Amino acid sequence: MITPERTGPPLTGGERETLRAFLDYHRATLALKCEGLPDEDLRRRSMPPSTLTLLGLVRHMAEVERTWFRRVIAGEDVPHVWSDKADFQEAFDATASTGAEAFAAWQAEVAHARRIEQAAESLDVTGYFPKWDDHVSLRLVMLHLIHEYARHNGHADFLREGIDGVVGA
């Protein structure tokens, strides 16, 4: 895993620049929550009976990045990362991969997402989201991912604290 560099969002700036910065901030936060942990700890369910793990969160976010940016905005016909049945829940199964595999998949999907976002003409670019049977804007996708990361980074806070007591970041 690469040591994450986390920069706070700009205090002033345009909408797109601000959305991009907040999304990257949250991506870096997830990486920081996992930093320095061996696979055994990344797989640890620190709050039984929940099966949620840090590794499962990383796998899930790879799936989320792929779906919203590649499948929805770019219209790519790519399968799910972790499921051949298009089941998002399978990504949470931390027993199915190593930390190196999960982080490589997640980082690859983040790179694709950045490429797609930067190539888009504007935040008004739309893509089709089958679950809602409607088109969604790049703006909505970026806001949705910020929300998704923020929610799961809260989970990651508790998971990491339960593993080794590390808080903050």
pLDDT tens-digit profile of 67-86?
A: 999 999 999 999 999 988 87
How do strand 134-137 and strand 126-129 relate by DSSP bridges? antiparallel
pLDDT value at 1 more than 60: no
Asked if the structure places residue 9 within a domain, the reply is no
Pick 93 or 73 by higher pLDDT.
73
Asked if the structure places residue 3 within a domain, the reply is no
Q: What is the domain range of residue 86?
A: 15-164
Residues for the chain: how many in total? 169
Residue with tokens 């590794």: 55
Q: Which of 45, 164, 148, 49 is nearest to 95 (CA)?
A: 45
pLDDT band at 2 (very low <50, low <70, confident <90, very high): low
Asked if the structure places residue 87 within a domain, the reply is yes
Pair 24, 7: CB distance under 8 Å:
yes
Query: pTM for this one?
Result: 0.93
Two tokens at 119? 């190539």
Asked if the structure places residue 56 within a domain, the reply is yes
pLDDT value at 23 more than 90: yes
Number of domains the chain is built from:
1
Measured distance between the N- and C-terminal CA atoms of the chain, rounded to whole angstroms: 17
In angstroms, the CA 139 to CA 124 distance is: 7
Asked if the structure places residue 1 within a domain, the reply is no
In angstroms, the CA 29 to CA 48 distance is: 24
SS3 115: helix
Question: Taking all residues of the chain, what is their mean pLDDT, rounded to a whole number?
Answer: 92
- pLDDT at residue 150, rounded to an integer: 97
Asked if the structure places residue 78 within a domain, the reply is yes
What does the buried/exposed string (b/e) look like for 69-105 if buried means 16 or more CB atoms within 10 Å of the residue's CB?
Answer: bbbbbbeeeeebbbeeeeeeebbbbbeebebebbbeb
Asked if the structure places residue 55 within a domain, the reply is yes
Asked if the structure places residue 10 within a domain, the reply is no
User: What average pLDDT does this structure show over 88-97?
Assistant: 84
CATH assignment of the domain containing 122: 1.20.120.450
| Prior bond of 49 cis (ω within 30°) | yes
In angstroms, the CA 81 to CA 78 distance is: 9
